[in-house]
A and B are shown apart, each in its own frame.
Chain A
Amino acid sequence: MEALFIWIETSPLSLWVRGESGWHMAFPIIIVFHALGMGFLVGVALAINGRVLGLAPQVPLGKLRQFLPVAMLALVVNVISGILLLIGYPTKALTNPVFYIKLLCIALALWNLRWFSYSVLTNPIYDHGVLPQKTRQLATASIVLWASAIIAGRLLAYTYNNMMSI
């Protein structure tokens, strides 16, 4: 495993991400995109979950689907920026259990969002009125998962065991 980390950390792309070759602002700008992506992805998810829980009841639930392209663009931004950050510091992330907790929370939250998008937001009977209890519980679970992903992500800066293998 360590050999793989060393190979990644000495690659030109890894050096570029860490700002050790070329542009010294590469790492801060990647982090900025990761924060903006978080805001729009989680923001759209929170709006959908909030509406499912009964906030803003005059908003036809299905119409919120129109914000999903924003969330998907934000997801693409965060997958790309996240992979770049991982290439920059593979040891730091992959030797920290908190990183896997973050990924698990995101995977479950995205699965949840996908289910809402295809099974709830597409069904006109849910456009108005109170949603089934199970659906509301899944919306609450989604909020908890996004919050956990954010906490885990922020803790990555504080809980790592090893910064680099080189």
Chain B
Amino acid sequence: MLEAISDWLQSTWLSHAFISQGLWAWPMSESLHFMGLCLLVGSVGLIDLRMLGMARGISVAALHKLVPFGVGGYLVNVLTGSLFVIGDADQYIFNDAFRVKMLFMLIAGLNVLFFYSSAFQKTKLLGPDDSMPLNVKIMAGVSLTCWIVIISAGRLITFYRP
């Protein structure tokens, strides 16, 4: 099943186009992937730190205006990440580091959905110097931990080639 998906991805036009771009497409996509990562840490990561108690004097609502840029970084990374998987599918689909990364992306995604559906409306009403309730702190901790694991596992992919 996975073998078939992997073979199919690598037989696509996009896969051939991306790989046969040769010298520049892959390294430049990797560079964009790193910049997207920095945008995510610099927005979502800093909001997580604020929720965990750092940087009093900034309200979550004010800092939350940075989130669209984090989402932009995330979309850049979904796009470039998809190119890597399509371009060299069997190096990712059978790679343990990639699987750990995907698992934590899923946990981070569920955590985001849970946060916005359960706590965000109350959190954005809190003032610049307010401490966050425990459930918000836990979700921020889960988020920050997930992103650290995602970056780490992502960087380890190249060392776990099947």
Contact = CB atoms under 8 A, between A and B. Distances in A.
B139 to A, nearest CB: 19
Given A58-B59, A67-B55, A36 B27 contact: no
B51 to A, nearest CB: 13
Interface string B43-72: 101100100001111110111111001000
Interface in A20-69: 25, 27-28, 31-32, 35-36, 38-40, 42-47, 50, 55-60, 63-64, 66-67
B63 A59 contact: yes
A130 to B, nearest CB: 16
B148 interface: yes
Interface string B111-129: 0000000000000000010
Contact of A36 (B61, B64, B69, B152): B152
B16 interface: no
B34 A50 contact: no
A67 B128 CA distance: 15
Contacts of A150: 31, 34-35, 38
Contact of B65 (A55, A153, A157): A55
B58 A59 contact: yes
A151 B39 CA distance: 15
B156 interface: yes
Contact of B46 (A31, A44, A153, A158): A44
B37 to A, nearest CB: 5
Of the listed residues A50, A56, A150, the one surrounded by the most CB atoms of chain B closer than 10 A to its CB is A56
B54 A66 contact: yes
Give the contact-size bracket for chain A.
Answer: 35 or more
A106 B65 CA distance: 27
B63 A31 contact: no
B27 A28 contact: no
A57 B59 CA distance: 12
Contacts of A164: none
A42 B38 contact: yes
A114 interface: no
B59 to A, nearest CB: 7
A63 B57 contact: yes
A40 B152 contact: no
A28 B156 contact: yes
A67 B42 CA distance: 10
20 contacts: A35-B34, A36-B151, A39-B40, A39-B151, A40-B41, A43-B45, A56-B62, A59-B63, A59-B65, A63-B58, A64-B55, A64-B58, A66-B54, A67-B46, A67-B54, A70-B54, A147-B35, A150-B35, A151-B31, A158-B27
Given A35-B152, A43-B46, A151-B28, 17 more contacts: A28-B156, A31-B155, A32-B156, A35-B151, A35-B154, A35-B155, A36-B152, A39-B37, A39-B38, A40-B45, A44-B42, A47-B46, A55-B65, A56-B65, A59-B63, A147-B31, A151-B31
